């Protein structure tokens, strides 16, 4: 028996090793070997006197606020969409699973809704933004809408899991005595799992800030766009200032979300 496990694990290891080597070959036909390190040093020295003129710092701070507000608004909207949707999709709050009357139409419609959210979350947000920029034009609207579309998918999936894994005794009792879905949700389920829901929303807020930074590259405004423009103009000292602002921003957002988590959890 011990021998069997040893052979199995060795086979797994060999397969893993072979895939790594194989994929290494696919990725690059030896770009790694002719790296030019002289050039690296040269480029690195271009980054270094940091840019700190007054106008530049003012523009940077304004762009930072744009980034944060894009993230906040999109998280707000996607929370308002995904909470009711997760109530509709959850098994714990549905009367057809509790009474066991096998209402096939209700079950099918629930699965249909769930698979819709699977498609929403499986396209990366920047591709959605690329397509939406064609339709809505450049600007903040495309960024907000693309974050809302993808994050609604993620948040609905997780909220459904949270509601379904919570204690179902009280909600079942309420449904058996004839309460509606939303009443049950607000009176039993939300008090029970508000901690998890809030901490997940805060976590998603951090993710949304990172995403809205990225979305600047396709022209959606904010700090990312400023960085992309500076890179295109080869103003590398501006880029290094923006990178420091970015690190500071992410650090502050971490602290804020820790604070919110401490208050609510």
**How far apart, in Å, do the first and last CA atoms of the chain sit?**
47
Q: Does residue 145 belong to the site contacting other proteins (CB under 8 A)?
A: yes
Distance CA 195, CA 80 (A): 17
Out of 28, 100, 101, 178, the only residue in the binding site for other proteins (CB under 8 A) is 28
Where in 71-100 is the site for other proteins (CB under 8 A)?
Answer: 72-73, 76
- 77, 141 Cβ separation under 8 angstroms: no
Q: Does residue 219 belong to the site contacting other proteins (CB under 8 A)?
A: no
Handedness of CA 59, 149, 182, 87 (dihedral sign): negative
- Please say which residue, 98 or 145, places its beta carbon nearer to other proteins: 145
Q: Does residue 58 belong to the site contacting other proteins (CB under 8 A)?
A: no
Out of 151, 213, 238, 241, the only residue in the binding site for other proteins (CB under 8 A) is 213
134-169 burial, b at 16+ Cβ within 10 Å, e below that, comes to eebeeebbbbbbbbbbbbbbbbbbbbbebbeebebe
Taking the complex as a whole, how short is the minimal distance between the CB of residue 124 and other proteins, in angstroms?
4
Distance CA 223, CA 147 (A): 16
Residues within the interface to other proteins (CB under 8 A):
16, 19-20, 23-24, 26-28, 31-32, 35, 39-40, 43-44, 65-66, 68-70, 72-73, 76, 118-119, 122-124, 126-127, 130-131, 134-136, 139-141, 144-145, 191, 194, 210-211, 213-214, 217-218, 224, 227-228, 231, 236, 239, 243, 246-247, 249-251, 260, 263-264
């Amino acid at each position: 028996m011990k021998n069997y496990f040893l052979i199995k694990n060795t086979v797994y290891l060999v397969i893993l090793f072979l895939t790594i080597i194989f994929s290494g070959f696919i990725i690059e036909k030896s770009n790694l070997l002719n790296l030019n390190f002289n050039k690296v040093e040269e480029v690195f020295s271009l980054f270094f006197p940091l840019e700190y003129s007054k106008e530049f710092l003012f523009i940077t701070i304004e762009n930072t606020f744009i980034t944060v507000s894009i993230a906040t608004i999109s998280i707000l909207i996607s929370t308002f969409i995904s909470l009711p949707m997760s109530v509709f999709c959850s098994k714990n709050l549905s009367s057809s699973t509790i009474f066991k009357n096998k209402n096939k139409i209700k079950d099918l419609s629930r699965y249909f809704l769930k698979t819709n959210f699977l498609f929403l979350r499986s396209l990366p947000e920047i591709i959605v933004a690329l397509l939406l920029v064609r339709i809505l034009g450049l600007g903040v609207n495309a960024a907000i809408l693309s974050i809302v579309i993808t994050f609604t998918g993620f948040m609905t999936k997780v909220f459904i899991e949270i509601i379904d894994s919570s204690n179902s005794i009280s909600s079942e009792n309420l449904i058996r005595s004839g309460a509606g879905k939303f009443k049950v949700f607000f009176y039993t389920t939300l008090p029970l799992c508000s901690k998890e829901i809030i901490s997940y929303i805060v976590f998603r807020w951090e993710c949304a800030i990172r995403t809205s930074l990225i979305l600047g590259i396709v022209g959606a405004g904010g700090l990312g766009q400023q960085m992309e423009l500076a890179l295109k103009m080869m103003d590398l000292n501006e880029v290094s200032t923006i990178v420091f602002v970015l690190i500071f921003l992410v650090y502050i957002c971490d602290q804020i979300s820790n604070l919110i988590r401490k208050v609510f959890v």
